[in-house]
Amino acid sequence: MQRRDFIKKAGGASLAVGAGLAGAGAADAKTQYKWKMVTTWPKNFPGLGTAANKLAALIGEMSGGRMRIKVYGAKELVPAFETFDAVSRGTVEMGHGSAYYWKGKSEAAQFFSTVPFGLTAQEMNAWMYFGDGLKLWTELYDPFGLVPAPAGNTGVQMGGWFNKEINSLADMKGLKMRIPGLGGEVLSRLGGTPVNLPGGELFTSLQSGAIDATEWVGPYNDLAFGLYKAAKYYYYPGFHEPGTTLEAIINKKALHALPKDLQSIVLNACRVVNQDLLSEYTARNPAALDTLLNKHKVNMRIYPEDVLKQLRKVSEEVVADLANKDAFTKKTYASYAKFYNQARRWSDISQLAFLQARNLS
């Protein structure tokens, strides 16, 4: 009799707990989370700005409407270069930008964006997801209360727009150029002046003579900004940005306050947009370049080979010096360099060899 009473009571308790859990799940399913996302890009700007819009829309769709994210372009809610701090403070739950903008927070941040003559987009994604890249990036952002995620890649960029020819490294001396990250440090060592400007200020700064040159992204975005109207020469390749990773910056407390399924949705939506944006640039850049060359008669130039060789030499010096800034940067550099050396060997006998073979006449 006592055994039957115990089983009956235990069964009743289990049902009560089960009902409680079911109720909690139902409550989670009905709760709607409203987030804000700020970006470093102009509102609705092709590629960069629309990637943030796609990310917000995808999270909404994947969550069945349980998450609603309102996207604010640069200066709509906060200035472009205050995105990191706004998410860190919890003013907003999410941001979209690129990690080299935050080198003032940590020099190591630049490795998670792009390195001159470094990893391509495909190689960056491999380091992030199957090397130590994302693990190290997460460790770097954790003290700021942030969770990073790759959320786009531009692929190889163009060298930039110049109002004079670049025939030797001497032409870099005295040059005022908008160029962020490690590329800016390379220019500085060559006697130039790197200027860090948000995208929305590039055209007027170049047209007014406040800067002599600017890099931005590539034909798709450069055409949209009308940069061909403000500079005479369009140089390639973008040695300074061979595969620039864009980031989603997520407030850690806000992310962990979500149910587990929504946390997974946010992070996996970032992975989808990361690949989607690279595909968009691969599709849109060729047509935009045709327009620049054939309709607007842009004077496109390749950097002279000896200039590229010297730029690479200076770039290697810049990156090696960066590695000695602090212990974490040194650790990140070691991981990046090891992966780079392995990836390059394979890329040389796969991608590079194939492209060379494809171009044989």
Mean pLDDT, residues 174-193: 97
pLDDT at 10 over 60: no
Mean pLDDT, residues 37-63: 97
Per-residue model confidence (pLDDT) at position 1: 43
Dist. CA 338–CA 340, nearest whole Å: 5
Among 4-13, 216-225, 297-306, the range scoring the smallest mean pLDDT is: 4-13
Same domain, 87 and 57: yes
Same domain, 130 and 41: yes
Structural domain includes residue 40: yes
Among 12-26, 60-74, 80-94, 100-114, the range scoring the smallest mean pLDDT is: 12-26
Confidence class for position 302, pLDDT limits 50, 70, 90: very high
Per-residue model confidence (pLDDT) at position 361: 86
Q: Is the dihedral of CA 258, 259, 262, 267 positive or negative?
A: positive
Structural domain includes residue 194: yes
Burial class (CB within 10 angstroms; exposed 0-12, middle 13-18, buried 19+) of 26: exposed
Per DSSP, 42 falls in state -
Per-residue model confidence (pLDDT) at position 26: 54
Q: Which tens digits make up the pLDDT trace of 68-86?
A: 999 999 999 999 999 999 9
Domain final residue, candidates 230, 257, 282? 282
Same domain, 55 and 100: yes
Mean pLDDT, residues 178-183: 96
Q: Which of 167, 342, 308, 169 is nearest to 240 (CA)?
A: 308
Confidence class for position 152, pLDDT limits 50, 70, 90: very high
What angle (nearest 5°) sits at the alpha carbon of residue 275, between those of residues 97 and 343?
95
Same domain, 53 and 134: yes
Structural domain includes residue 138: yes
Same domain, 198 and 300: yes
Per-residue model confidence (pLDDT) at position 11: 47
Dist. CA 147–CA 77, nearest whole Å: 21
Confidence class for position 30, pLDDT limits 50, 70, 90: confident
Same domain, 206 and 276: no
Mean pLDDT, residues 112-119: 98
Q: Which tens digits make up the pLDDT trace of 241-297?
A: 999 999 999 999 999 999 999 999 999 999 999 999 999 999 999 999 999 999 999
Same domain, 50 and 179: no
Among 2-6, 177-181, 192-196, the range scoring the smallest mean pLDDT is: 2-6
Structural domain includes residue 346: no
Confidence class for position 121, pLDDT limits 50, 70, 90: very high
Same domain, 233 and 254: no
Per-residue model confidence (pLDDT) at position 6: 41
Q: Please give the tally of structural domains in the chain.
A: 2
Dist. CA 99–CA 59, nearest whole Å: 22
How far is residue 201 CA from its own chain's centroid? 19
Structural domain includes residue 235: yes
Per-residue model confidence (pLDDT) at position 170: 95
Same domain, 124 and 192: no
Per DSSP, 227 falls in state G
Percent of the chain with pLDDT over 70: 92
Mean pLDDT, residues 295-302: 98
Per-residue model confidence (pLDDT) at position 151: 98
Structural domain includes residue 361: no
Domain final residue, candidates 282, 310, 338? 282
Dist. CA 120–CA 102, nearest whole Å: 21
Dist. CA 10–CA 193, nearest whole Å: 75
Mean pLDDT, residues 142-162: 98
Same domain, 93 and 66: yes
Mean pLDDT, residues 196-206: 94
CA distances in angstroms from 245 to 37, 49, 151, 251, listed in the order given: 18, 14, 7, 19
Mean pLDDT, residues 295-309: 97
Mean pLDDT of the chain: 93
Per-residue model confidence (pLDDT) at position 24: 44
CA distances in angstroms from 267 to 37, 78, 140, 200, 315, listed in the order given: 14, 24, 18, 28, 33
Structural domain includes residue 143: yes
Per-residue model confidence (pLDDT) at position 16: 41
CATH number at residue 103: 3.40.190.170
Same domain, 234 and 172: yes
CATH number at residue 222: 3.40.190.10
Cis peptide before 180 (omega within 30 of 0): no
Burial letters 194-215, b for 16+ CB under 10 A, else e: bbebbbbbbbebbeeeebbbbb
Structural domain includes residue 188: yes
> Domain limits at 55?
31-152+243-282
Same domain, 251 and 121: yes
